[in-house]
Amino acid sequence: MINAAIFASGEGSNAENLMNYFVNDSRIKIKLVIASRDDAGVVAKAEKYRKTVQIISKDALNNYTDKIIEFLKGEKIDLIILAGFLLKIPEAFVAAFPNKIVNLHPSLLPKYGGKGMYGLNVHKAVIESKEKESGITIHYVNSEYDKGEIILQAKCTISDSETPESLSQKIHGLEYEYFPKAIEKLL
């Protein structure tokens, strides 16, 4: 069985979707949820599923990286799933968990990736560039923002009247459908 940790920063809708999807799957156990803030919505969602929650701030992530890696290895974590985790993963993490850290990005990488490209920022940039389609990319994490090997991409069309908010809803639909399938592909 694979032991997984979900890292999240926000409301945790993708984290909750994964916890629900894999609740009875004997191949994977979502063992931990790591939140970057104690007021993140993901904390309540994780508690609903009786998951152990740890809060790891940006300061802790950057200054106590070795201790966090040691903790995760002590918990026998095999896979780290970034579900809306907005902090950059330190290179020591990538080295400690090679091809074991997976991220969900709300665009068709390599377009609209990198620092500051998250949430509505991505959707505004896509619409302003008059793209005809957008989508999601699930990829491995490496030492550069949004540059890791792609595992799966899913697309949606962009209408002439699209707004960042309406595109966000389309993207969320793709995330809920395809993120669990991409994780399942790795099992």
Structure tokens at 87: 């902090």
In the DSSP assignment, the letter for residue 77 is -
d(CA 12, CA 6): 10
Which residue from 32, 77, 40, 78 is spatially nearest to 58, judged by alpha carbons?
40
Three-class SS state of 57: coil
Catalytic positions are 105
Pairing state of beta strands 133-140 and 150-157? antiparallel
Q: End-to-end alpha-carbon separation of the chain, Å?
A: 9
Structure tokens at 94: 């990538």
Q: CB neighbours (10 Å) of residue 82?
A: 24
Residue whose tokens read 């994490």: 141
d(CA 69, CA 164): 37
